Chains A and B, each alone.
Chain A
Amino acid sequence: DVKVTQSSRYLVKRTGEKVFLECVQDMDHENMFWYRQDPGLGLRLIYFSYDVKMKEKGDIPEGYSVSREKKERFSLILESASTNQTSMYLCASSLPDRNTIYFGEGSWLTVV
Chain B
Amino acid sequence: DAKTTQPTSMDCAEGRAANLPCNHSTISGNEYVYWYRQIHSQGPQYIIHGLKNNETNEMASLIITEDRKSSTLILPHATLRDTAVYYCIVRVANSGYALNFGKGTSLLVTP
Contact = CB atoms under 8 A, between A and B. Distances in A.
Interface residues of B, number: 22
Contacts, number: 56
Interface string B90-108: 0101111111111000000
Contacts of A56: 97
A96 B94 contact: yes
Interface in B71-111: 89, 91, 93-102
A105 B49 CA distance: 21
A99 B101 contact: no
A98 B49 CA distance: 13
Nearest to B43: A103
Interface in B1-47: 32, 34, 36, 41-46
Nearest to A42: B101
B99 A43 contact: yes
A90 B97 contact: no
A78 B14 CA distance: 43
Contact of A90 (B44, B91, B98): B44
Contact of A99 (B42, B49, B102): B49
Contact of B46 (A45, A98, A102): A102
A48 B34 CA distance: 20
Contacts of A100: 34, 46, 49
Contacts of A101: 36, 44, 46, 99
A90 B41 CA distance: 11
B6 to A, nearest CB: 14
Contacts of B49: 99-100
A22 to B, nearest CB: 15
Contact of B97 (A4, A31, A104): A31
Interface string A80-112: 000000000010100011111111111000000
A58 B98 CA distance: 7
Interface string A25-56: 00000010100000000111100100000001
B59 to A, nearest CB: 11
A101 B93 CA distance: 12
Contacts of B95: 98-99
